[in-house]
Protein backbone atom coordinates (compact mmCIF):
# COMPACT_ATOMS: atom_id res chain seq x y z
CA UNK A 1 0.00 0.00 0.00
CA UNK A 2 1.28 3.45 -0.88
CA UNK A 3 1.97 5.91 1.90
CA UNK A 4 -1.08 7.97 2.90
CA UNK A 5 -0.84 11.63 1.89
CA UNK A 6 -1.34 13.76 5.01
CA UNK A 7 -1.77 17.41 5.97
CA UNK A 8 -2.08 19.11 9.35
CA UNK A 9 -4.34 22.13 9.89
CA UNK A 10 -3.16 24.17 12.88
CA UNK A 11 0.53 23.69 13.73
CA UNK A 12 0.83 25.12 17.20
CA UNK A 13 2.43 23.05 19.95
CA UNK A 14 0.29 19.94 19.42
CA UNK A 15 -0.31 20.27 15.69
CA UNK A 16 3.41 20.56 14.99
CA UNK A 17 3.89 17.28 16.87
CA UNK A 18 1.21 15.68 14.68
CA UNK A 19 3.11 16.90 11.63
CA UNK A 20 6.38 15.49 12.90
CA UNK A 21 4.81 12.07 13.62
CA UNK A 22 3.37 11.88 10.10
CA UNK A 23 6.72 12.98 8.67
CA UNK A 24 8.50 10.20 10.56
CA UNK A 25 5.85 7.47 10.13
CA UNK A 26 6.53 4.65 7.63
CA UNK A 27 2.93 4.57 6.36
CA UNK A 28 2.33 8.28 5.86
CA UNK A 29 3.79 11.06 3.76
CA UNK A 30 3.35 14.54 5.17
CA UNK A 31 2.75 16.82 2.16
CA UNK A 32 1.48 20.08 3.68
CA UNK A 33 0.84 22.08 6.83
CA UNK A 34 -1.47 25.05 7.36
CA UNK A 35 -1.79 27.75 9.99
CA UNK A 36 -3.45 31.15 9.92
CA UNK A 37 -0.20 32.50 11.38
CA UNK A 38 1.73 32.32 8.14
CA UNK A 39 5.12 32.68 9.78
CA UNK A 40 4.34 29.66 11.94
CA UNK A 41 3.14 27.68 8.92
CA UNK A 42 6.32 28.61 7.05
CA UNK A 43 8.52 27.69 10.01
CA UNK A 44 7.01 24.23 10.45
CA UNK A 45 6.67 23.54 6.72
CA UNK A 46 10.25 24.47 5.93
CA UNK A 47 11.61 22.53 8.91
CA UNK A 48 9.91 19.39 7.60
CA UNK A 49 10.45 20.08 3.91
CA UNK A 50 6.76 20.29 2.94
CA UNK A 51 4.47 22.90 1.43
CA UNK A 52 2.85 25.36 3.78
CA UNK A 53 -0.34 27.42 3.55
CA UNK A 54 -1.98 30.30 5.39
CA UNK A 55 -5.56 29.13 4.73
CA UNK A 56 -7.11 25.69 4.51
CA UNK A 57 -9.30 26.46 1.49
CA UNK A 58 -6.23 27.01 -0.70
CA UNK A 59 -4.57 23.93 0.70
CA UNK A 60 -7.58 21.71 0.00
CA UNK A 61 -7.86 22.96 -3.58
CA UNK A 62 -4.15 22.37 -4.23
CA UNK A 63 -3.51 19.07 -2.45
CA UNK A 64 -4.77 15.51 -2.96
CA UNK A 65 -5.07 14.29 0.62
CA UNK A 66 -5.91 10.92 2.18
CA UNK A 67 -6.11 12.14 5.76
CA UNK A 68 -5.92 15.36 7.73
CA UNK A 69 -5.27 16.24 11.37
CA UNK A 70 -7.25 19.27 12.49
CA UNK A 71 -5.47 20.72 15.51
CA UNK A 72 -6.89 24.23 15.58
CA UNK A 73 -8.51 25.70 18.71
CA UNK A 74 -11.99 24.20 19.05
CA UNK A 75 -13.80 27.39 18.02
CA UNK A 76 -12.09 27.20 14.61
CA UNK A 77 -12.51 23.46 13.99
CA UNK A 78 -15.96 23.09 12.42
CA UNK A 79 -15.45 24.58 8.95
CA UNK A 80 -12.11 22.96 8.03
CA UNK A 81 -13.11 19.59 9.47
CA UNK A 82 -16.36 19.46 7.48
CA UNK A 83 -14.63 20.66 4.31
CA UNK A 84 -11.92 18.00 4.60
CA UNK A 85 -14.48 15.26 5.23
CA UNK A 86 -16.53 16.36 2.22
CA UNK A 87 -13.35 16.23 0.16
CA UNK A 88 -12.94 12.58 1.19
CA UNK A 89 -10.07 13.01 3.66
CA UNK A 90 -10.13 10.88 6.80
CA UNK A 91 -9.99 12.98 9.95
CA UNK A 92 -8.09 13.04 13.20
CA UNK A 93 -9.56 15.81 15.35
CA UNK A 94 -8.01 17.26 18.46
CA UNK A 95 -10.34 17.46 21.45
CA UNK A 96 -12.78 18.89 22.25
CA UNK A 97 -14.92 18.74 19.14
CA UNK A 98 -16.22 22.29 19.42
CA UNK A 99 -16.79 25.17 21.83
CA UNK A 100 -20.39 24.15 22.53
CA UNK A 101 -22.30 20.89 22.68
CA UNK A 102 -24.74 22.07 20.02
CA UNK A 103 -21.92 22.79 17.56
CA UNK A 104 -20.25 19.48 18.41
CA UNK A 105 -23.47 17.66 17.57
CA UNK A 106 -23.70 19.44 14.22
CA UNK A 107 -20.06 18.62 13.49
CA UNK A 108 -20.58 14.93 14.20
CA UNK A 109 -23.64 14.76 11.96
CA UNK A 110 -21.84 16.51 9.10
CA UNK A 111 -18.78 14.24 9.28
CA UNK A 112 -20.79 11.04 9.69
CA UNK A 113 -22.76 11.91 6.55
CA UNK A 114 -19.56 11.76 4.47
CA UNK A 115 -18.58 8.23 5.51
CA UNK A 116 -14.91 9.03 6.17
CA UNK A 117 -13.03 7.47 9.07
CA UNK A 118 -12.84 9.96 11.93
CA UNK A 119 -11.10 9.71 15.29
CA UNK A 120 -10.74 12.15 18.18
CA UNK A 121 -7.37 12.43 19.89
CA UNK A 122 -8.00 11.44 23.51
CA UNK A 123 -4.48 10.15 24.04
CA UNK A 124 -5.04 8.58 27.47
CA UNK A 125 -6.81 5.69 25.75
CA UNK A 126 -3.45 4.87 24.15
CA UNK A 127 -1.43 5.25 27.37
CA UNK A 128 -0.09 1.84 28.54
CA UNK A 129 -0.95 2.63 32.16
CA UNK A 130 -4.57 3.41 31.35
CA UNK A 131 -4.78 0.42 29.01
CA UNK A 132 -3.65 -1.75 31.94
CA UNK A 133 -6.36 -0.16 34.09
CA UNK A 134 -8.90 -1.00 31.39
CA UNK A 135 -7.71 -4.61 31.35
CA UNK A 136 -8.10 -4.82 35.14
CA UNK A 137 -11.65 -3.52 34.84
CA UNK A 138 -12.45 -6.01 32.08
CA UNK A 139 -10.86 -9.20 33.46
CA UNK A 140 -12.46 -8.99 36.90
CA UNK A 141 -9.38 -7.83 38.82
CA UNK A 142 -11.23 -4.78 40.14
CA UNK A 143 -14.59 -6.48 40.53
CA UNK A 144 -17.60 -4.18 40.61
CA UNK A 145 -16.32 -0.59 40.43
CA UNK A 146 -17.24 1.57 43.41
CA UNK A 147 -15.26 4.79 42.98
CA UNK A 148 -13.07 6.34 40.32
CA UNK A 149 -10.92 9.30 41.36
CA UNK A 150 -9.02 11.39 38.82
CA UNK A 151 -6.76 14.39 39.26
CA UNK A 152 -5.35 16.69 36.57
CA UNK A 153 -3.57 19.74 37.94
CA UNK A 154 -1.74 22.19 35.73
CA UNK A 155 0.11 25.34 36.61
CA UNK A 156 -0.97 28.96 36.38
CA UNK A 157 0.93 29.06 33.08
CA UNK A 158 -1.87 26.95 31.60
CA UNK A 159 -4.38 29.57 32.64
CA UNK A 160 -2.33 32.29 30.96
CA UNK A 161 -2.02 30.31 27.71
CA UNK A 162 -5.51 28.79 27.48
CA UNK A 163 -7.68 30.97 29.72
CA UNK A 164 -8.33 33.70 27.12
CA UNK A 165 -10.09 31.31 24.75
CA UNK A 166 -11.13 28.09 26.53
CA UNK A 167 -11.98 26.72 29.97
CA UNK A 168 -10.57 24.17 32.36
CA UNK A 169 -13.29 21.54 32.00
CA UNK A 170 -13.48 21.39 28.22
CA UNK A 171 -9.74 21.66 27.59
CA UNK A 172 -8.27 19.59 30.43
CA UNK A 173 -10.78 17.68 32.57
CA UNK A 174 -12.48 16.23 29.48
CA UNK A 175 -9.58 13.74 29.19
CA UNK A 176 -10.40 12.21 32.57
CA UNK A 177 -14.16 12.31 32.03
CA UNK A 178 -13.69 10.32 28.82
CA UNK A 179 -11.45 7.84 30.67
CA UNK A 180 -14.03 7.38 33.43
CA UNK A 181 -16.73 6.45 30.92
CA UNK A 182 -14.35 4.23 28.94
CA UNK A 183 -13.20 2.35 32.05
CA UNK A 184 -16.59 2.02 33.69
CA UNK A 185 -18.67 1.20 30.61
CA UNK A 186 -21.81 2.70 32.13
CA UNK A 187 -23.77 5.82 31.22
CA UNK A 188 -23.70 8.87 33.45
CA UNK A 189 -26.92 9.63 35.34
CA UNK A 190 -26.09 13.00 36.91
CA UNK A 191 -23.22 15.34 37.70
CA UNK A 192 -22.45 18.07 40.20
CA UNK A 193 -19.60 20.59 40.22
CA UNK A 194 -18.18 23.34 42.42
CA UNK A 195 -15.70 25.86 41.07
CA UNK A 196 -13.17 28.37 42.35
CA UNK A 197 -12.59 31.60 40.43
CA UNK A 198 -9.34 33.54 40.91
CA UNK A 199 -7.03 34.57 38.05
CA UNK A 200 -9.32 33.17 35.37
CA UNK A 201 -12.16 35.40 36.49
CA UNK A 202 -10.99 37.98 33.97
CA UNK A 203 -12.00 35.55 31.22
CA UNK A 204 -15.13 34.25 32.96
CA UNK A 205 -13.61 30.86 33.78
CA UNK A 206 -12.81 28.79 36.85
CA UNK A 207 -9.25 28.26 38.11
CA UNK A 208 -10.20 25.02 39.90
CA UNK A 209 -13.16 22.65 39.73
CA UNK A 210 -14.23 19.63 41.80
CA UNK A 211 -16.68 17.29 40.04
CA UNK A 212 -18.93 14.45 41.17
CA UNK A 213 -20.17 12.01 38.52
CA UNK A 214 -22.82 9.37 39.26
CA UNK A 215 -22.94 6.36 36.92
CA UNK A 216 -25.92 4.10 36.22
CA UNK A 217 -24.10 1.06 37.66
CA UNK A 218 -23.75 2.76 41.05
CA UNK A 219 -20.11 3.79 40.64
CA UNK A 220 -19.21 7.33 41.71
CA UNK A 221 -16.51 9.34 39.95
CA UNK A 222 -14.64 12.22 41.54
CA UNK A 223 -12.48 14.63 39.57
CA UNK A 224 -10.23 17.43 40.77
CA UNK A 225 -8.69 19.77 38.23
CA UNK A 226 -6.99 23.17 38.38
CA UNK A 227 -4.76 25.80 36.80
CA UNK A 228 -3.41 27.19 40.06
CA UNK A 229 0.05 25.90 41.04
CA UNK A 230 3.08 28.09 40.28
CA UNK A 231 5.21 27.17 37.23
CA UNK A 232 8.08 26.26 39.59
CA UNK A 233 6.50 22.96 40.70
CA UNK A 234 8.55 19.91 39.58
CA UNK A 235 5.89 18.52 37.22
CA UNK A 236 4.06 20.97 34.97
CA UNK A 237 1.12 18.56 34.83
CA UNK A 238 0.20 16.40 37.82
CA UNK A 239 -2.24 13.63 36.96
CA UNK A 240 -3.53 10.59 38.81
CA UNK A 241 -6.19 7.89 38.54
CA UNK A 242 -7.48 5.61 41.29
CA UNK A 243 -10.12 2.93 40.74
CA UNK A 244 -11.51 1.02 43.73
CA UNK A 245 -13.80 -1.97 43.33
CA UNK A 246 -15.22 -4.87 45.28
CA UNK A 247 -12.29 -7.16 44.38
CA UNK A 248 -9.33 -4.83 43.90
CA UNK A 249 -8.11 -1.55 42.52
CA UNK A 250 -5.86 0.26 40.07
CA UNK A 251 -3.69 3.25 41.00
CA UNK A 252 -1.84 5.49 38.53
CA UNK A 253 0.51 8.31 39.49
CA UNK A 254 1.15 10.45 36.45
CA UNK A 255 3.27 13.19 38.01
CA UNK A 256 6.62 11.43 38.29
CA UNK A 257 7.98 9.17 35.59
CA UNK A 258 11.08 8.14 37.49
CA UNK A 259 13.39 10.87 36.19
CA UNK A 260 14.35 14.12 37.92
CA UNK A 261 16.42 16.84 36.31
CA UNK A 262 18.14 19.62 38.24
CA UNK A 263 19.62 22.73 36.63
CA UNK A 264 20.60 26.17 37.90
CA UNK A 265 16.97 27.31 38.05
CA UNK A 266 14.76 24.41 39.12
CA UNK A 267 14.19 20.78 39.98
CA UNK A 268 11.85 19.13 37.48
CA UNK A 269 10.13 15.91 36.51
CA UNK A 270 10.06 15.94 32.69
CA UNK A 271 7.16 14.27 30.92
CA UNK A 272 8.19 10.93 29.44
CA UNK A 273 4.70 9.69 28.65
CA UNK A 274 2.65 11.95 26.42
CA UNK A 275 5.02 13.09 23.64
CA UNK A 276 8.68 12.62 24.59
CA UNK A 277 11.30 12.82 21.87
CA UNK A 278 13.21 9.55 21.54
CA UNK A 279 15.40 7.77 19.05
CA UNK A 280 12.60 7.41 16.52
CA UNK A 281 11.31 10.95 16.97
CA UNK A 282 8.03 11.75 18.73
CA UNK A 283 7.05 8.84 20.95
CA UNK A 284 4.65 8.15 23.81
CA UNK A 285 0.86 8.40 23.93
CA UNK A 286 0.60 10.86 21.05
CA UNK A 287 2.56 8.62 18.69
CA UNK A 288 0.47 5.62 19.80
CA UNK A 289 -2.76 7.52 19.18
CA UNK A 290 -1.72 8.59 15.68
CA UNK A 291 -0.56 5.02 15.02
CA UNK A 292 -4.05 3.80 15.96
CA UNK A 293 -5.67 6.33 13.63
CA UNK A 294 -3.40 5.41 10.72
CA UNK A 295 -4.15 1.72 11.31
CA UNK A 296 -7.90 2.41 11.34
CA UNK A 297 -7.65 4.21 8.00
CA UNK A 298 -5.47 1.51 6.41
CA UNK A 299 -7.43 -1.50 7.68
CA UNK A 300 -10.98 -0.27 8.17
CA UNK A 301 -10.88 -1.05 11.88
CA UNK A 302 -12.97 1.02 14.26
CA UNK A 303 -11.10 4.05 15.61
CA UNK A 304 -9.92 3.99 19.22
CA UNK A 305 -12.04 7.06 20.04
CA UNK A 306 -15.10 7.60 17.87
CA UNK A 307 -16.91 10.85 17.21
CA UNK A 308 -19.76 9.61 19.42
CA UNK A 309 -17.34 8.83 22.27
CA UNK A 310 -16.01 12.38 22.09
CA UNK A 311 -19.50 13.83 21.83
CA UNK A 312 -20.55 12.02 25.00
CA UNK A 313 -17.54 13.40 26.90
CA UNK A 314 -18.52 16.87 25.71
CA UNK A 315 -22.10 16.32 26.87
CA UNK A 316 -20.80 15.52 30.37
CA UNK A 317 -18.70 18.71 30.30
CA UNK A 318 -21.73 20.75 29.24
CA UNK A 319 -23.77 19.27 32.11
CA UNK A 320 -20.98 20.06 34.58
CA UNK A 321 -20.84 23.64 33.39
CA UNK A 322 -24.60 23.88 33.82
CA UNK A 323 -24.14 22.62 37.39
CA UNK A 324 -21.49 25.29 38.01
CA UNK A 325 -23.95 27.95 36.87
CA UNK A 326 -26.92 26.66 38.85
CA UNK A 327 -25.24 25.24 41.94
CA UNK A 328 -27.40 22.12 41.52
CA UNK A 329 -26.93 18.56 40.23
CA UNK A 330 -27.68 18.14 36.52
CA UNK A 331 -29.05 14.96 34.94
CA UNK A 332 -28.01 13.35 31.68
CA UNK A 333 -28.93 13.18 28.82
CA UNK A 334 -28.30 16.93 28.82
CA UNK A 335 -29.63 19.48 26.33
CA UNK A 336 -27.65 22.66 25.95
CA UNK A 337 -29.64 25.90 25.59
CA UNK A 338 -28.89 27.98 22.51
CA UNK A 339 -28.26 31.72 22.79
CA UNK A 340 -31.85 32.44 21.76
CA UNK A 341 -33.19 30.47 24.72
CA UNK A 342 -34.21 27.39 22.72
CA UNK A 343 -32.47 24.05 23.12
CA UNK A 344 -30.12 22.18 20.82
CA UNK A 345 -30.67 18.59 19.79
CA UNK A 346 -29.17 17.52 23.13
CA UNK A 347 -28.38 14.06 24.39
CA UNK A 348 -25.11 13.75 22.46
CA UNK A 349 -25.54 9.95 22.54
CA UNK A 350 -28.30 7.76 23.86
CA UNK A 351 -27.57 6.18 27.22
CA UNK A 352 -27.21 2.75 25.62
CA UNK A 353 -24.61 4.13 23.24
CA UNK A 354 -22.45 5.22 26.15
CA UNK A 355 -21.59 1.55 26.63
CA UNK A 356 -20.09 1.34 23.14
CA UNK A 357 -16.63 2.24 24.41
CA UNK A 358 -13.36 0.73 23.35
89 and 137 in a single domain? The answer is no
* Residue 157 lies in domain: 124-274+307-331
Q: Tell me how many degrees the CA angle 217-328-197 measures, rounded to the nearest 5.
A: 115
Q: Flag whether pLDDT at 356 surpasses 60.
A: no
Q: How far apart are CA 317 and CA 297, in angstroms?
A: 29
**Does one domain contain both 210 and 327?**
yes
Determine the 3-state secondary structure of 52 from DSSP.
strand
Q: Mean pLDDT across the chain, nearest whole number?
A: 92
Please tell me whether residues 89 and 151 are part of one structural domain: no
Element (H, E) at 212: strand 208-215
Residue 357, pLDDT above cutoff 60: no
Residue 271: per-residue pLDDT: 87
Tell which residue, 355, 298, 318, 289, has the closest CA to residue 103: 318
Residue 339: per-residue pLDDT: 53
Please give the share of the chain, as a percent, with pLDDT higher than 70: 94
The CATH number given to whatever domain includes residue 210 is 3.30.360.10
CB 195 within 8 A of CB 208: yes
Helix (H, G, I), strand (E, B) or coil at 101: helix
Task: Tell me which of 186 and 355 has the higher pLDDT.
Answer: 186
Q: Which of 16-20, 294-298, 335-339 has the lowest mean pLDDT?
A: 335-339
The pLDDT value given to residue 15 = 97
pLDDT at 341 over 80: no
* Residue 324 in domain: yes
Do both 138 and 262 map to the same domain? yes
Give per-residue pLDDT as tens, 122-152.
Answer: 999 999 999 999 999 999 999 999 999 999 9
Which range among 3-17, 23-37, 76-90, 267-281 shows the weakest confidence by mean pLDDT?
A: 267-281
Asked whether residue 344 is domain-assigned, the answer is no
Whole-model pTM over 0.85:
yes
Domain count, the chain: 2
Assess whether 62 and 146 both reside in one domain: no
Mean pLDDT of 165-181: 96
Least confident range from 5-9, 63-67, 345-349: namely 345-349
Residues 5-52 have pLDDT tens digits of: 999 999 999 999 999 999 999 999 999 999 999 999 999 999 999 999
Distances (CA, A) of 145 to 243, 274, 324: 7, 27, 27
108 & 143 share domain: no
pLDDT above 80 (res 160): yes
Cis peptide bond prior to 107, omega within 30° of 0 = no
Q: What pLDDT score does 338 carry?
A: 62
What percent of the chain has a predicted confidence (pLDDT) above 90? Answer: 83
Residue 171 pLDDT > 90: yes
- 115 & 240 share domain: no
Res. 331: pLDDT tops 60: yes
Lowest model confidence (mean pLDDT) among 85-89, 302-306, 346-350: 346-350
pLDDT per residue as tens digits for the range 230-262: 988 888 888 999 999 999 999 998 777 789 999
Say whether both 259 and 131 belong to one domain.
yes
Q: What is the pLDDT of residues 310-319, one digit of tens each?
A: 999 999 999 9
Q: How far is CA 329 from CA 27, 206, 319, in A?
A: 47, 18, 9
Choice among 21-25, 299-303, 327-331, 341-345 with the minimum mean pLDDT:
341-345
In a domain, 284, yes or no: no
Is residue 156 a part of any domain in this protein? yes
Residues 234 and 262 in one domain: yes
User: How much is the pLDDT for 270?
Assistant: 87
Tell me: cis bond preceding 96? Omega within 30 of 0 counts. Answer: yes
Angle between helix axes 13-24 and 38-48 (nearest 10 degrees) is: 20
The predicted pLDDT at position 237 comes to: 87
Does one domain contain both 12 and 86? yes
Same domain, 258 and 322: yes
CATH number assigned to the domain comprising residue 43: 3.40.50.720
Nearest Cα residue to 41 out of 10, 17, 74, 75? 10
Instruction: Check whether residue 255 and residue 270 sit in a common domain.
Output: yes
Residue 292 lies in a domain: no
Amino acid sequence: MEALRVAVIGVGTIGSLHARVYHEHPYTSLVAVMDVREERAREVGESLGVRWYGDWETMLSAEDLDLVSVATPEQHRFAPAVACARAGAHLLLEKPLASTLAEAERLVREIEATGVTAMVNFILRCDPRYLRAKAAMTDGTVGEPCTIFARRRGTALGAEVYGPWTNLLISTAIHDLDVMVWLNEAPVERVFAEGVVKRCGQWGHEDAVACLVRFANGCVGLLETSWVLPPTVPASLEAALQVVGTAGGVFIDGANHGVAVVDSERYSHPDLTHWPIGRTGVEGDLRASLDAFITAVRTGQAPVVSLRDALYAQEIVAALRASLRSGQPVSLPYREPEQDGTYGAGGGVRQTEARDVR
